[in-house]
Amino acid sequence: MQITGTHINKIKDAVRQPLPELNQTVLADYVNTFQKQAASYISICRQHGSPLYIFDQAALLHRAQQFTSAFKEYFAEFQAYFAVKSNNHPSVAATLVDFGLGLDVSSGLELEAALRSGCRDILFSGPGKTEHELRMAVKHHRSVTVLMDSFGELAGLEKAARKEKSRVRSGVRLCTNEKGLWRKFGIPLSDLGAFMSEADQCPHVDVTGLQFHTSWNLNPKNQTAFLARLSENLRSLSAEHLSAIKFVDIGGGYWPSRGEWLQPYGTPSGRVLQSSGIEISNPMAHYGIDAVSIETFAERIAAAMETHIFPLVSCNVKAEPGRWLCDDAMHILVTVIDKKAEDLVITDGGIHLIGWERFETDYAPVINLTRPSRAERQCLIMGSLCTPHDIWGYGYFGNGIEPGDVLLIPGQGAYTYSLRQHFIKPLAKIVNLINGKVEQNDTAVD
């Protein structure tokens, strides 16, 4: 690749525009909420060993109530579906189904798990559904709505439903970015009319809704912008096709209101320095990108629906939150097993518990529950995997650190447990906290 003057200017802009540093008061208050529960966490660790996943059911239910209340304030007919891929621990899905949420699944494996949970309102999304997966959806058509990703899936679903002599509820995913890697998902907006016409020739498939998804939404700007684009396209549909649309699924991607917390290497300027082999001068710096509240998401999306969609179609609203619901609902406990230097310790849990080198770029506080302190001290907190990338953080909150100390990494409920992997060390066990008490201790199973 040839580096041009334009590339160099963009690199300079990235370095010159650092992100704001994380508000230290916000961080300290967040850490303090877990330090207050230090004795309880240490007791659980002593009883069940470590490393451990802690599933906090109360935190999950609080988020579910907050999310649904925010959107039901504006939509009389609203249904949320938990995106199972964000955390596939069975107790997470079971808790949310009991609460009244549906489940959003993206594979046959997730569909089987959703059915085992007792859920009877399932959205089956995702690209590349196999013949076997489509047949499974047809078999359970009373519980499943298939969100088709292509013209090919429409044909495949019609074939499977015709063979079973069934009629299947479905929707179609719309591509939100027709350039680059996001072309993978859905059909172009410009093809919606042709898709609806082709669906008219599929008597075993009822296309009754539209779905779209944008990710990493710190605010609803991308979602409201797409609703405006969708409106223009809907105006070209026939009255018959418009009347067939009974739901619009606004997807997920809502970022928790805590915002995005980053290590120096997670910032634009940090990535430039890292790729250049330049070490960060202050690894203890933390950066934060603010996110709006879920109430703000609901208010602005509702305004966009009122302006762009409801004048054209009479429909209910669905959403597929994942990260927003489960991020605060799972934490990780590890124990220090070796102190190699004042600024380097090894813990008994490695990043195979979260599946990727997350904390080279993302930031979560490491809290020494055994020696609590509001001060953060510099120290490499490493796991015991045979790789130098096995790091939990560059510091810890505590008054010193020694072998045997119990460390908490909070807020690890989203896209960590689901990505865990067998690599060198065993998987951790899971402890379920139900109403503040340990109800269950089971072994993690893939």
- Residue 311 phi, psi (nearest 5): -65, -15
Q: Any idea which architecture 57-326 has in CATH? A: Alpha-Beta Barrel (3.20)
In which region does residue 109 sit, left (phi positive, over 0), alpha (psi from -120 to 50) or beta (all else)? Answer: alpha
Distance CA 420, CA 135 (A): 29
Block residue for tokens 């105006």: 235
Domain spans of the chain, in order of start: 12-54+330-435, 57-326
Amino acid 216 reads W
Q: Which residues contact 381 (CB under 8 A, 6 or more apart)?
A: 345, 347, 366, 391, 392, 393, 394, 395, 396, 407
**Helix 294-304 crosses helix 57-72 at what angle (to 10 degrees)?**
30
- Residue 207 phi, psi (nearest 5): -90, 105
Angstrom distances, CA of residue 329 to CA of 57, 140, 147? 7, 30, 28
Whether residue 316 contacts residue 247, with contact meaning beta carbons closer than 8 Å, is answered with yes
Amino acid 410 reads P
Distance CA 312, CA 48 (A): 57
> Strand 102-105 and strand 260-262: pairing?
unpaired
Kindly tell me the number of DSSP H helices and DSSP E strands found in the chain: 14, 19
Distance CA 326, CA 324 (A): 6
Question: What is the model's pLDDT at position 443?
Answer: 45
Whether residue 369 contacts residue 401, with contact meaning beta carbons closer than 8 Å, is answered with no
Beta strands in 88-152 (DSSP E): 102-105, 122-124, 144-148
pTM of the shown model = 0.94
Say how many C-beta atoms besides its own lie within 10 A of residue 264's C-beta.
Answer: 25
Distance CA 71, CA 80 (A): 9
Distance CA 342, CA 345 (A): 8
Whether residue 352 contacts residue 421, with contact meaning beta carbons closer than 8 Å, is answered with yes
One fold for 12-54+330-435 and 57-326: no
Amino acid 35 reads Q
Angle at 18 between CA 16 and CA 19, to 5 degrees: 155
Distance CA 242, CA 235 (A): 9
Q: Is 98 helix (H, G, I), strand (E, B) or coil?
A: helix
Query: Could you read off the pLDDT tens digit of each residue along the chain, which spans 446 residues?
Result: 666 766 566 666 666 666 789 999 999 999 999 999 999 999 999 999 999 999 999 999 999 999 999 999 999 999 999 999 999 999 999 999 999 999 999 999 999 999 999 999 999 999 999 999 999 999 999 999 999 999 999 999 999 999 999 999 999 999 999 988 999 999 999 999 999 999 999 999 999 999 999 999 999 999 999 999 999 999 999 999 999 999 999 999 999 999 999 998 888 777 776 666 777 778 889 999 999 999 999 999 999 999 999 999 999 999 999 999 999 999 999 999 999 999 999 999 999 999 999 999 999 999 999 999 999 999 999 999 999 999 999 999 999 999 999 999 999 999 999 999 999 999 999 999 887 677 655 544 44
- Residue 386 phi, psi (nearest 5): -85, 65
Whether residue 57 contacts residue 434, with contact meaning beta carbons closer than 8 Å, is answered with yes
Specify the CATH class of 12-54+330-435 in words.
mainly beta
Distance CA 249, CA 131 (A): 24
The terminus-to-terminus CA distance of the chain in angstroms comes to 41
Cα 107 to chain centroid distance, Å, stands at 16
CA-wise closest residue to 110 among 85, 127, 145: 85
Copy the structure tokens of residue 149.
Answer: 């990703």
